[in-house]
Structure 1
């Protein structure tokens, strides 16, 4: 690798150009103009001195041209470091100082390209000052890396951004420091490429696409101008650049179809996949087309169905407008009509119109070319309702972009947001928008869902910077999930989760501990993010706290006991119930997938799982494995932020008998599960999918007394609005336990006993005005109506 020569001709020109600058150029040009004007006047007056001034003016103009086209530009003059290094680098470096990584960084740290990289890393420029070496020999690898970056971006010059990125990428000290703040070398390289795309856009010459002569050749199109948007003209006037999308497989396929004489193409893709962006990229590609005369100078005009419908006063008026638009496009000759949300042209109803009978003869005559944007579902519906029309469309199915493609789209969107709202959108925000939108947004495709989330995060900026936390705040606000790191208060809550759960339920310490550990793992980010937060099978007799533990999780971890979706699996015993569970109906309140979309951060409780049809259990396998299910309309519902709990009374008698014999749960738990498998009650592949299988034991009398205490707290909470409280003596508590205890039903009869013993007595006292606000009612066993 050659050494950078700061005394070369190019380097001297660059420094001289910086000294002369725009002011010097303007001064030389003005001096030449004055000399020419004065000399001309003197020549006219027959003074020989005038010819000398004219000569000086010509010299000034030659000098001005030299400054303008040589000194102020210093273009790349071939291959090699010294021939490609940009004038900004040459003028920033001091030829009198040793050239080391540290000195080069300090020289370039205030350049806007270096600031671009550091701002998008959310780092101050001085962050790396003391991390770089002062060894001159270390510059060789830096120049090599900068050259590689420039080559990758197809840049003829090596810019300050390339050098700054190379300094960050080649320093072990910088790499170690970036790792500590969760940055990777790939992030630096990605930001450098982002900068490279912006540089290419800034420096490229505005392309010429034919100008007024082309417009005259296309004809007069007043109606199309009124009801549509000329995409091609917008690209031409605003110098919009769609990067690699202009040569993507989708755009290439549409061009190939048109080149072969196809009259209409259907861009088929999910919402958010970029059908409109593909139309714009197609317009950019067609504007630059010079090889295929069938495509040369084609202009794309997007029609707005809502605007057409709003103007039309009836079906006849609507038919007249559409026919006039088609005739105008056919007369113009080089028009391609783009119909976004094309299904609005194919259906009857508010905000839509069925124009297929008007468009059908136009397509058959091939007088006008069309691009229709449709979702797969809408295209399928069109084929089922109007096969003749659908057969005239050549479908081009768009695929979701790769992660690299989505991130490139995000950088373009971020640049627009930065310009419009005077913000800095960090690269970590783009990565977080990609990650979180993929996890939580199931109804849109990439890149649309990532761009939408990024836009929603702008309002959460901190001091004008959109960081990863802003994106997390946006998803938490829109989806009701916890996406960010646990705050100190929440971390303390997680560490003491068992105590909080035990405030709502008695004993079952092993079950509580198992669930609490799973929730802590998920919140700390050390569990599998593609599966539910936790999945548990609770086994045990009725009334021992299985459902109550699920409610406690909803209240303590998910914030509210109502954040629970409960399904009685005894209602899903038929094979036909599979379709009911996967129904995409939006108005079925019992629909599991709809409820999960509405409450993605919740407990999913599947009661009496052993009663469900085997095909339902197969769906459960998929849910636990992949963290998602797909409805009958092809839409996914994510279970990745739910805690899935299945309960079963299978083997309840066995558990009760062995506990009564004095055995501990842990001593026979494995044997018990094996018996369930051997008995055919559960398939081993289902049991293996659960994070934990937890056995619940029957409650002892002293524990039932504690349950009475919890129920009494609920009564007092209800009475607190009337400022009345109730207290039970030990004898009263014991009597309720005796009456409400049923070994077969556990603690469930206790609530009925509580209602009869306490709530009925208190209600009578209130109605008889024997209890007033502020009173404390003490009840003994003899006071209870049992």
Structure 2
């Protein structure tokens, strides 16, 4: 009977039983035929008895005695079934084939790798899970483990092969539950008892919204409980929280925390891998550039982690330098580089010194001289494109130095009547932008004074002249934060609350633009808990959002505006010192001393007089003319009209804001009426447009006062 079975089974009987539910397996199992008679393939011959008992469908199973009773003659070895080869190629990746060049980024991870090895060697709960943020190098630790296994550096894992399994295509690619089960069982057959399975995206095991994931999790849980296979996985802290929703799975895994590397450790990694990027992009990178990459990525890419963010910048910078080389030099570089790589492989495989005769044939320095060189401007450009912000290095450009030098005069040209306040502001800005001081906290300025004197406008003008754009100002109207629960708008909602997935308004903007002006307008109207929140920002320059991310405020300029200390009836001509004393007394009554002591400057804005309003009116007319020039007209306002406008709009209590309303009613409405009448009188042919070719075609409208009325002439 056994010969008949052996004759009929040219392929592995056990594989056919799994894939086709072959009746021969039941027949063989019933008669307890040995694996030699069953003609097992190479993989099936190494199965444990527990695996066979689980995979066969009937309740009866092979006995251990019949399984182990093998003939002295070696069984015929058959190739793995085509379907199983297909599964192996589609879902499993052999990590033991990792190149040594890829292991350069595993520096400074020896302790974590040894911890993983110790957990794999345990008798129970031997499933390590590496927990760390994206980009800290979790997968590289797994690759290092696979490399050590392939080289036999770990005696306990000498014959182990590390396979990587991607869950998403395996689960979503199966159309039926039976197909999923068959694929999973076949994968388990491919794995030997000593092999290690690396499961990527392990948090998906706890997902209930992915079709087929529940069934797959149940299948995997059975193997985990029975210790049929060694599994190692990775997850971010948030993904690990998803995995904890399944208490059975989470109890089986052992945490291995992977912390981000520091700047010095990342620099060591860049020095080890820079040669591979130089050979690939055909560029030359100096050590000074590597130091600059680690420094700038550490300061401006706070939302990402070392070493991944520094490696990404290095790769893109090399690509930028490679594209900058001329097309004529490219073929020569490719030819020289090809010869150099052959030479290097021939004479430096055993880390020995180069042969002198060979060096005459190909000179590595000659190659480097012809390669495009990566410079600091390229690095700054790449990081600016990634972070969408401007970067200032320790060496300010000439344009930046001129901008900072002229900051006071530029502010005075647009802000009228506040020379003393702007002088203090300019001094604080120069102090904040100085490269001679270490920036360990933000610059915090408190603007106090009556309404309508230019406190908010000062912050807008400062952002324009300091950073070149008003868009780099983050305005926050604190009247929207009068409730203590509104703190969630700034830093995000805490876990369990609605909107937890959304990011904080303030923290997200500062994360994208670490160098910006933050305007906290009417700060005294916010809830007192808001001021407590900003204490750590003012002191340490850091703020934790709702997800635990640390947001860096060290390069920001924070401006708080307030009407605090201003009496309802203010008199014109009071001294600056008296108003400053009133402001300080009011601050002490409203806020505690630890808040006041964290303010770098308390700048008092004075009330405006009529001469100040006259200068502001001239600025207003100039801006209005810029709008009118698009339609080919401009206005000229008579001095008598200006004085009449100032007389109507002047108010020591409300500052310059009434002037805006009066100008709109008296001047803008008058020009609108004139323009409508003008178009009616001079109606052009329908569809014809009049183009303004030069300034001589611009029509000037004079605003004069006639019989106590404003008219256009």
TM-score by length of 2: 0.72
Q: Is 1:466 aligned with 2:327?
A: no
CA pair 600-720 structure 1, distance change in 2 beyond 3 A: farther
Q: CA deviation at 1:725?
A: 0.8
The aligned residue for residue 371 of structure 1 is 232
Q: CA deviation at 1:522?
A: 3.9
Q: Deviations over 1:649-693 (max 9, x none)?
A: 001228944xx3542x1x346633541344x21222222222211
- Residue 246 of structure 1 contacts residue 285 of structure 1 at CA under 8 Å; is this kept in 2? no
CA distance in 2, matches of 1:402, 1:275: 15
- Residue 411 of structure 1 contacts residue 430 of structure 1 at CA under 8 Å; is this kept in 2? yes
The answer to which structure has the higher helix fraction is: 1
Q: Is 1:227 aligned with 2:85?
A: no
Q: Which of these residues, 497, 507, 510, is aligned with residue 417 of structure 2?
A: 507
Q: Gapped runs of 5+ residues in structure 1?
A: 1-212
Indicate the SS of the match to 1:689: coil
CA pair 460-491 structure 1, distance change in 2 beyond 3 A: farther
Q: CA deviation at 1:558?
A: 2.1
Q: Is 1:624 aligned with 2:535?
A: no
CA distance in 1, matches of 2:320, 2:121: 47
CA distance in 2, matches of 1:573, 1:403: 41
CA distance in 1, matches of 2:210, 2:412: 54
Give RMSD over aligned pairs. 3.1
Q: CA deviation at 1:735?
A: 1.7
The aligned residue for residue 673 of structure 2 is 764
- Residue 245 of structure 1 contacts residue 251 of structure 1 at CA under 8 Å; is this kept in 2? no
Q: CA deviation at 1:483?
A: 2.9
CA distance in 2, matches of 1:764, 1:544: 31
CA distance in 1, matches of 2:675, 2:172: 63
CA pair 586-511 structure 1, distance change in 2 beyond 3 A: farther
- Residue 603 of structure 1 contacts residue 642 of structure 1 at CA under 8 Å; is this kept in 2? yes
Q: CA deviation at 1:602?
A: 2.4
CA pair 719-216 structure 1, distance change in 2 beyond 3 A: farther
Indicate the SS of the match to 1:622: helix
The aligned residue for residue 623 of structure 2 is 714
CA pair 311-291 structure 1, distance change in 2 beyond 3 A: closer
Q: CA deviation at 1:309?
A: 5.7
Q: What pairs with 1:146-161 in structure 2 (closer than 5 Å)?
A: none
CA pair 530-349 structure 1, distance change in 2 beyond 3 A: farther
Q: What pairs with 1:228-627 in structure 2 (closer than 5 Å)?
A: 228-235=92-99, 240-242=102-104, 245=107, 248-261=110-123, 262-289=125-152, 292-293=155-156, 295-308=157-170, 311-313=173-175, 317-329=179-191, 332-347=192-207, 355-383=216-244, 385-461=245-321, 464-479=372-387, 480-484=389-393, 485-532=395-442, 534-583=443-492, 591-627=505-541
- Residue 566 of structure 2 contacts residue 583 of structure 2 at CA under 8 Å; is this kept in 1? no
Higher relative contact order (CA 8 A, sep 6+): 2
CA pair 500-748 structure 1, distance change in 2 beyond 3 A: same
Q: CA deviation at 1:475?
A: 1.7
Q: What pairs with 1:60-139 in structure 2 (closer than 5 Å)?
A: none
CA pair 714-586 structure 1, distance change in 2 beyond 3 A: farther
CA distance in 2, matches of 1:268, 1:458: 31
Q: CA deviation at 1:411?
A: 1.8
Indicate the SS of the match to 2:306: coil
Indicate the SS of the match to 1:538: strand
CA pair 529-469 structure 1, distance change in 2 beyond 3 A: farther
CA distance in 1, matches of 2:263, 2:88: 38
CA distance in 2, matches of 1:340, 1:240: 19
Indicate the SS of the match to 2:636: strand
Indicate the SS of the match to 1:576: helix
Q: Which moved more, 1:535-544 or 1:590-599?
A: 590-599
Indicate the SS of the match to 2:627: helix
CA distance in 1, matches of 2:152, 2:383: 42
CA distance in 2, matches of 1:709, 1:725: 14
Indicate the SS of the match to 1:650: coil
